Amino acid sequence: MKNITRWLFTVVLLSFSTLLFSQQDTLILRSEFEKAGDEIYDLDDVNEGSITYSIISGNDSLFYGINSTTGVISISNVIPDTFNVVRMDTLVIDASGNQYTVRIVDGYDFIIQNLDHTYHVLDEHSETYIDSSNEWTAFNNLWGRGTAVPNVDFRIATIHKSNLPDSTILIWDTPSKAREYGGASVWCYHNIFYGNRKNTREDLSLFPFQISTLDSLSIDFEFEQLFGDDQYKIAMNMFMTDESYLTSFSKNDGDFFFVFDQKGTWIPPYPYALPDSTILGKLFALRYHDEHKGAFYERRRVIVKNHQKLLQGVLDINHLFTRFADEGWLDLNQYIYHLQLGIEVTEGYGAVRINKSDIHLSQTSQAIPVSVSDGSSSSSEVASIDAGKPNAYPIPADRFLFVQGRTEDMNHITLFNLLGEKIVTETNPLANGTVCMDVSTLKPGIYILKTKTATRKVQISHTP
């Protein structure tokens, strides 16, 4: 079969047991945005070259055509699809006596309407599902630049089960590149993420974590393409806090970006700045140079080369951090809010299921740098979290934060934000030695609680 489209019987893994056909009964999942002339399937009879193909039934509206010599089925006339309604056309093809039944459906709606009852669909912009039993969140992000309208000009959805992240399905149908709608970037990014995200999830005390405290950080992953073409990008972003007190060096903005699978999406044609690296048997390039602007495009990008796919393996993220730090492109004092894993789409259609996404994170050193600023002077201090760290509750705190600890520590307690700015200071413990801090007016988020001898992170989150 030629590389025209990707049909499959693995779709039955969702719940399509009734659609197991014979070898000569094929299910094709197509885009709803197909145009006249688009090729959707190659029948590929074993006697091809000495036979003639023809459509003998199911094509009364003349939506389809077939090349009598090659068996390639294409769109002859635009098909009047309706969103959220599955259209199935059943063609019977004759190949000089051999007959084939080809069932053609719009893949996006077909997948969604044939899901089993354990799946839930996020298809609106910024629609979110938080798995409170772990650190994962599903997030459907219909962002993009230009005039393209979500769920009109393109469609994407994040399909999840109650227990994230395994079996999450990312599905999309996008007819053309963003620039055709006045855009300069991709249309949409749907994903799952591990950790906290501002204004989305802020309840996890482990996040943000500091790169320098890591003993190990890796991801054991497995992706499976369910159907569609290859015009998409599987990518992992690590979103950094980029705080002002960290060591700054020229043109080191941006997030850490690792691309597992890229074909056809927007990619600048820049020469790479480092020798190729082999990661899990695939060639990758680290960082590349914008020869037009005379500057580095993204200093922390790791991208698979030659349109390869890396669909499974165990990726040592901490090793990549170390290498980028050695090159001077990453400050290990930086914090990371979350790791985001998903599909970035410019054009094309299809679905990818995340069969496995296990994050392994351990920390041996837990030094937290705090840049102290009281308006009159500033200094940089590092305090270690040890066995004597203060106990703070409730977490997250709403109106009041109570702190207990060593007696000598309770006479002066300070809250800093992640910029190192002093927010609240309390010097008068209660009679039982507990300190009560009024946090009702503070913005929700992560703060640094500092006593005389110890430091820890706390979270503020106000009940609506």
Higher-confidence residue of 209 and 350: namely 350
Answer yes or no: are the C-beta atoms of 380 and 419 closer than 8 Å.
Answer: no
Q: Encode pLDDT of 425-451 as tens digits.
A: 887 777 667 888 888 888 888 888 888
Residue 93's pLDDT is: 96
pLDDT, mean of residues 207-221: 88
Residue 377's pLDDT is: 31
Residue in 124, 143, 134, 109 with CA at minimum distance from that of residue 343: 143
Higher-confidence residue of 338 and 176: namely 338
Residue 52's pLDDT is: 97
129-133, 172-176, 245-249: lowest mean pLDDT where? 245-249
Residue 176, pLDDT > 70, answer yes
Residue appearing with tokens 């937290």: 368
Residue 283's pLDDT is: 86
Residue 295, pLDDT > 70, answer no
Cis peptide bond upstream of 369, omega within 30: no
Residue 54, pLDDT > 70, answer yes
Residue 2's pLDDT is: 40
Tokens describing residue 332: 């290990």
Residue 70, pLDDT > 90, answer yes
pLDDT, mean of residues 211-232: 90
pLDDT band at residue 128, thresholds of 50, 70 and 90?
very high
**β strands within 295-347, DSSP E:** 295-304, 312-316, 335-345
Residue in 343, 354, 340, 350 with CA at minimum distance from that of residue 189: 343
Q: Encode pLDDT of 254-285 as tens digits.
A: 577 888 887 755 455 445 556 778 999 998 88
Residue in 164, 243, 252, 234 with CA at minimum distance from that of residue 208: 243
Residue 142 to residue 156: CA distance in whole angstroms: 7
CA distances 125 to 88, 122, 136, 150, 285, Å, are 28, 8, 18, 8, 32
Residue 249, pLDDT > 80, answer no
pLDDT band at residue 131, thresholds of 50, 70 and 90?
very high
Residue 111 main-chain phi, psi, to 5 deg = -60, -50
Residue 14, pLDDT > 50, answer no
pLDDT band at residue 299, thresholds of 50, 70 and 90?
low
pLDDT, mean of residues 112-124: 94
Tokens describing residue 189: 């990014």
Q: What is the pTM of this model?
A: 0.74
Burial-class residue 413 by CB neighbours within 10 Å (0-12, 13-18, 19+). Answer: buried
Residue 372, pLDDT > 60, answer no
Helix (H, G, I), strand (E, B) or coil at 12: helix
CA distances 92 to 60, 100, 239, 276, Å, are 12, 6, 51, 49
Sorted by where each starts, the structural domains of the chain and their CATH numbers stand as 10-105 (2.60.40.60), 118-363 (2.60.120.180), 367-460 (2.60.40)
Q: What is the mean pLDDT of the chain?
A: 79
pLDDT band at residue 21, thresholds of 50, 70 and 90?
very low
